[in-house]
Amino acid sequence: MGYFHSVRLEEDKCKGCTNCIKHCPTEAIRVREGKARIIQERCIDCGECIRICPNHAKIAVGDDLTALAAYRYRIALPAPAVVSQFAGQAKLEHILGALKALGFDAIYEVALAAEMVARATRRYLDNYGGKRPLISPACPAVVGLIQVRFPSLVEQILPLVTPVDLAARLARLEGMKATGLPLEAVGTFFISPCPAKITAARQPQGKRVGPDGVIPLATVYGDILKGLSSALPYPSRAGATGYGWGHSGGENASIGGRRLLEVDGIHHVIEVLTRIEAGDFQDIEYIEAQACPGGCVGGALMVQNPYLAKLELRQLVRDLPSRSMDLPVTEKDLRAEPVYPRPALQLDDDLATAIEKMRRLEATQAMLPGLDCGSCGSPSCRALAEDIVQGEAQDTDCVFVLRERVRVLAEEVVELARKLPPSMARPERGDEDAPSGNR
């Protein structure tokens, strides 16, 4: 099955420096022929490579404002974290107003849906008797990480709809009611902090539930900034707890009052998931795990420093009521589509073949120097061994193996150079009878 990915490489900018391969949490990148390549099946669109690339060759492809033209009534769905980028410069109403002025007819705050999801989550946890801890489905990069690297934890992902998807559905309903327009004429556009949420909205996962388009914050940042002082204010309906979802710890705060753990930054998330997989953390009820440092305020498509953004977001919403909305949808509407493992790291579909490959992989890895230097274009010696076994690389791609081969070859050459043709070679004194040269 093919995956759509928002994270791409701009080939002409890539210098093949191998910086990105080390940071990818699913070892999805290889440098081949001087260019980084993303293995599509493995990529979870976490945006780590966008952050790390010194040449800005990794980009996220989303929609831009021209996509609005396909609809007669357009609703913007700003992620809670988005307003953090302008906090300190304007009040919430003015930020929303400046966003609306870009060509939208209405705004539906994702924070509003987040409050509803928090209520539903609380109720779900109250009645839950299964394996602990449950893991938040809100960060699609974390969900992808679980699918690819921790498939056994897929069943511990909370089976509730995400705030973005709920916001899209409710906004569409409101829009149709307000205008009398049919479904196809109402467009919902999520303003995204990250590539993972662009990708999540595009995956063909059963029936369409998410927004109709996803616009990276970075592409409209300047336009919103310009409009801050002139645009008409637009009233906010969401409360402080909903906006809290924009930074790490906010989701847990809005659920409230239990043993809830929060972890942010993809490599920290990996540590925690590893422990859960080993059977630890069973006394924790729920884990809010976010791939980005500081949570969505640190999204790869954001502009401000994440920690400053977190501070500003907190201050911005300080005066908002901490209300939480009644649920205008039924329990059934809140159920998420099931999540399945994506066994992209599996060596082969056939068990016997996979075992044989693993045996060769272990043997190959033992021959490599274990320096994980990345010069071969694979992220680690083990990954190179895997690539060799899969027929996508050779052992001489390792500079150390190559050098050793060259050394052996050089010695052989020297050895050969010493040999003289039989017509010139004289038998050494004392063993005239011995055969000389190659007969």
Partner 1 sequence: MPSLKLSFPVRARDFLAGGHGAARIRQVLQQVGFPPEIIRRAAIAAYEAEMNIIIHSYGGELKAHITPGAITITAVDDGPGIPDIELAMQEGYSTAPREIQEMGFGAGMGLPNIRRCADELEIKSGAGQGTTVNIIIYNR
Binding region for ligand SF4 (CB under 6 A): 7, 24-26, 28-29, 38, 43-49, 139-141, 193-194, 196-197, 290-292, 295-296, 299
- The smaller minimum CB distance to partner 1, of residues 64 and 362, is found at 362
- What binding mask, one character per residue, do residues 107-146 give for partner 1 by CB under 8 A, x or -? ----------------------------------------
- The smaller minimum CB distance to partner 1, of residues 358 and 367, is found at 358
- Residue 295 binding: pick among partner 1, ligand SF4, none (C-beta 5-8 Å cut-off by kind): ligand SF4
- The smaller minimum CB distance to ligand SF4, of residues 47 and 227, is found at 47
Q: How far is the CB of 358 from partner 1 (least distance, A)?
A: 5
Does position 326 interact with partner 1 (CB under 8 A)? The reply is no
CA dist 98 and 226 (Å) reads 8
Angle of the 351-367 helix axis to the 381-389 helix axis, nearest 10: 130
Q: How far is the CB of 416 from ligand SF4 (least distance, A)?
A: 47
Give Cα separations from 343 to 145, 146, 203, 270 (angstroms). 11, 10, 17, 17
CA dist 360 and 355 (Å) reads 9
CA dist 160 and 423 (Å) reads 87
Q: How far is the CB of 7 from partner 1 (least distance, A)?
A: 24
- Residue 47 binding: pick among ligand SF4, partner 1, none (C-beta 5-8 Å cut-off by kind): ligand SF4
Q: How far is the CB of 415 from ligand SF4 (least distance, A)?
A: 47
**Bridge-based pairing state of the strands 7-9 and 58-60:** antiparallel
- Residue 401 binding: pick among partner 1, ligand SF4, none (C-beta 5-8 Å cut-off by kind): none
Contacts (CB under 8 A) with partner 1, residues 276-295:
277-279
- The smaller minimum CB distance to ligand SF4, of residues 44 and 134, is found at 44
CA dist 365 and 380 (Å) reads 10
Phi and psi dihedrals of 187, rounded to 5? -110, 135
* DSSP tag of 418: H
Q: Which two tokens stand for residue 250?
A: 């906010």
Q: How far is the CB of 47 from ligand SF4 (least distance, A)?
A: 5
Contacts (CB under 8 A) with partner 1, residues 149-188:
151-152
Q: How far is the CB of 125 from partner 1 (least distance, A)?
A: 24
Q: Which helix (H) or strand (E) holds 220?
A: helix 217-227
Non-local CB neighbours of 330 within 8 Å, separated by 6+ positions: none
- The smaller minimum CB distance to partner 1, of residues 154 and 303, is found at 154
- The smaller minimum CB distance to ligand SF4, of residues 259 and 267, is found at 267
- Residue 358 binding: pick among ligand SF4, partner 1, none (C-beta 5-8 Å cut-off by kind): partner 1
From candidates 33, 126, 326, 349, binder to partner 1 by CB under 8 A: 349
CB atoms within 10 A of CB 253: 18
Q: How far is the CB of 221 from ligand SF4 (least distance, A)?
A: 15
Among residues 242, 287, 305, 295, which one has the least CA distance to residue 265? 295
Q: How far is the CB of 165 from partner 1 (least distance, A)?
A: 27
From candidates 356, 372, 392, 397, binder to partner 1 by CB under 8 A: 356
Among residues 363, 369, 352, which one has the least CA distance to residue 386? 363
Plot region of 240 (φ>0 → left; ψ -120 to 50 → alpha; else → beta): alpha
Bridge partners (DSSP) of residue 77 are 190
Give Cα separations from 18 to 15, 60, 376, 393 (angstroms). 9, 19, 9, 16
DSSP assignment of 142-156 equals HHHHHHHH-GGGGGG
Non-local CB neighbours of 33 within 8 Å, separated by 6+ positions: none
From candidates 173, 325, 329, 354, binder to partner 1 by CB under 8 A: 354
List the end-to-end C-alpha distance of the chain, in Å, as a whole number. 63
Does position 343 interact with partner 1 (CB under 8 A)? The reply is yes
Among residues 123, 125, 165, which one has the least CA distance to residue 143? 165
Residue 160 DSSP SS3 = strand
Which segment (104-112, 174-182, 343-351, 392-400) binds partner 1 by CB under 8 A? 343-351
- Residue 88 binding: pick among partner 1, ligand SF4, none (C-beta 5-8 Å cut-off by kind): none
- The smaller minimum CB distance to partner 1, of residues 176 and 345, is found at 345
Residues that bind partner 1 (CB under 8 A): 151-152, 274, 277-279, 341, 343, 345-349, 351-356, 358-359, 362
